[in-house]
Amino acid sequence: MCFAVTIFESREDIRCAKVVKGRSINLALSHRGRQALKHIGIEEKIVSMGIPMHARMIHSLNGKQSPIPYGKKGQYILSVDRANLNKELLSVAEAYPNTKLNFNHKLLDWSPETGAMTFHGPDGNEKEFHADLIVGCDGAFSATRKQFLRRSRFNYSQTYIPHGYLELTIPPRNGDFAMKPNFLHIWPRHTFMMIALPNLDKTFTCTLFMPFEDFEKITTGNELLGFFQKNFPDSIPLIGVDALMRDFFRLPAQALVWVTCSPYHVLDSCVLMGDAAHAMVPFYGQGMNANLFIYIYAFFSAAVLPEYTRVRAPDDQAMAELAMYNYVEMRSHVNSRYFLFRKFLDNTLHFVMPKTIIPLYTMITFTRTRYRQAVIQWQWQNKVKLLETESAVSVAPGNTVPKHKFISPFSLRQKRSVWYCFHIGLQHLPGTFRRAGLGSQGGSCCSYVKDPDQLPIRAMSDHKALFSHHCLHAVPE
């Protein structure tokens, strides 16, 4: 079957653009994304221009760097350049004889009843276009979605998390990478998180995640330097004091949004795909992979549109929640020591029981297991597993845990269907904590929420609600 496909893009053709503005420079490409690229014949091209990251490199406060492999030898994620990927995808699309690209066309309005669209064209005039099926792939702030929002029985939610992000650059040193290139560098500092991904030009792009209110507190160069000396001292000479001062204040921190909606289609005229339907927070490195992977859904007739929502939405929901779960986990209690401990434990259990226990990160990143299925498998593993980050003490809200009070990190405890329970001393963290456990699941998912008021509503509801509501029902297949 053959369609005439017309693509409208509001920006200019980035293949001709001199300066490419826009969001984050590099992205983490993993198995699902690669499978999609393979399908359109550009996997090798993209992979050859990506930089393999075989392990995370955890940067401790004292400057120590500890690698923890992602998996077996051949398992790695790739740091790829967003602009380059977009260019290649455009060229693939353009090569189809039945496809026409239009740039500088901004969607103003469209009609679900007739499929008529109005664009603001490059010459400043309005332009009309008609399509039998409109596929809205226009991102988290989708213009296509506006018509959905006006209709009855369309569910929509948009949640901004308290964190924003800002990008910094580590230049090459003596013509080479200033840090080891084949790693995803991570500085886990609870609420402050920084990562660095390598680029082909031997630079690293650092992304600093931090609550907006903390960004706002840093207004002078001295405050900035003090903040970095306190939290990321080893990164200062790598970025350079002058560059840090310049780049940090050049742009305001960018917001991070989580979007869910359903259904993804309206009548038989339009369907939303990608971020337009399900933008997620970046704390699992899966956004692009999830979006590329939906290539496997082709619309041969409008009759399958409801099916697309039915089949796909549970997986999108599961992945978006896992990304949110990582956000809550990391901001709440993941420092470098805990990060290393967790990943070491995950890898060890997998080594001992390779078939039974597969780390969630591995299932998500290196397999094509449906996201919802991966969550179900993970919850089952948590029952079997030796591990429970048990809420050592139930800290009532308002109670303050004394600093450095450390309850034995490995107190083993027998349990019915659980063999042992680890008992991880998270209580040394200052502040007020609230338990958000998996409840009856007894999973390894306690989370200590420092300031519940700061969290968005869906993260406020504990993990049990998060997962059982959306993920525990049988997967439609």
| Helical axes 305-333 vs 371-384, angle rounded to 10° | 40
Q: Is 438 in the site for ligand EGO (CB under 6 A)?
A: no
Cis peptide before 263 (omega within 30 of 0): yes
Residue pair 466/325 in contact (Cβ under 8 Å)? The answer is: yes
Nearer to ligand EGO, 77 or 387 (CB): 77
Q: Is 31 in the site for ligand EGO (CB under 6 A)?
A: no
Instruction: Using DSSP, state whether 196 is helix, strand or coil.
Output: strand
Contact string 252-291 vs ligand EGO (x = CB under 6 A): ------------------------------xxxx------
Token reading at 289: 């992979």
**CA separation for the pair 240, 171 (Å, rounded):** 9
**CA separation for the pair 39, 371 (Å, rounded):** 20
Q: What is the DSSP string of 182-195?
A: SEEEEEEETTEEEE
Q: Is 361 in the site for ligand EGO (CB under 6 A)?
A: yes
Instruction: Using DSSP, state whether 254 is helix, strand or coil.
Output: strand
Of these, 145, 189, 343, 423, which contacts ligand EGO (CB under 6 A)? 343
Q: Report in angstroms how near the CB of residue 279 gets to ligand EGO at its nearest.
A: 15
Q: Is 334 in the site for ligand EGO (CB under 6 A)?
A: yes
Stretch that binds ligand EGO, among 42-50, 236-244, 322-330, 429-437 (CB under 6 A): 322-330
Nearer to ligand EGO, 193 or 280 (CB): 193
Which of the 8 DSSP states describes residue 313? H
Token reading at 307: 């099916």
Instruction: Using DSSP, state whether 273 is helix, strand or coil.
Output: coil
Q: Is 448 in the site for ligand EGO (CB under 6 A)?
A: no
What residues from 162 to 201 belong to the interface with ligand EGO (CB under 6 A)? 184, 186, 193, 195
Q: Report in angstroms how near the CB of residue 343 gets to ligand EGO at its nearest.
A: 6
Nearer to ligand EGO, 77 or 107 (CB): 77
Q: Is 312 in the site for ligand EGO (CB under 6 A)?
A: no
Q: Is 339 in the site for ligand EGO (CB under 6 A)?
A: yes
Q: What is the DSSP string of 113-158?
A: TT-EEEEE-TTS-EEEEE-SSEEE---TT-STHHHHHTSTT-EEEE
Nearer to ligand EGO, 27 or 271 (CB): 27
Of these, 56, 145, 278, 385, which contacts ligand EGO (CB under 6 A)? 56
Nearer to ligand EGO, 195 or 429 (CB): 195
**CA separation for the pair 60, 190 (Å, rounded):** 12
Nearer to ligand EGO, 198 or 285 (CB): 285
Give the torsion sign (CA, 407, 412, 413, 417): positive
Please give the residue ranges that form the binding site for ligand EGO (CB under 6 A): 28, 56, 77, 184, 186, 193, 195, 209, 282-285, 326, 329-330, 334, 339, 342-343, 361
